[in-house]
Amino acid sequence: MRDKILEALIQKFEERAEKGQLKYGKTLDRNDLELLEWVEHAQEEAMDYCLYLEKIKNMLKYPQGINIY
């Protein structure tokens, strides 16, 4: 029996992959990008991730909606 958390995460990965394929018409099994372009995509995703974390920190720090910015 697999961990329920793992099962849920696998399901989310599958749904995200399907959504991306529908949106862009491609999968990650593609050869039309150079290595640097893959790095740039990953970097942009990481920057978005940092923005989400900062927002979450702000919400936890100021649960009444006081914005520090």
Give the domain ranges of the chain.
1-30, 33-69
pLDDT at residue 66 greater than cutoff 90 = no
What DSSP string runs through 14-69?
HHHHHHHHHHHS--S---SS-HHHHHHHHHHHHHHHHHHHHHHHHHHH-TT-----
Question: Per-residue pLDDT tens for 6-62?
Answer: 999 999 999 999 999 999 999 999 999 999 999 999 999 999 999 999 999 999 999
What predicted TM-score, i.e. pTM, was given to this entire model?
0.73
Q: Phi then psi for 43, rounded to 5 degrees?
A: -65, -40
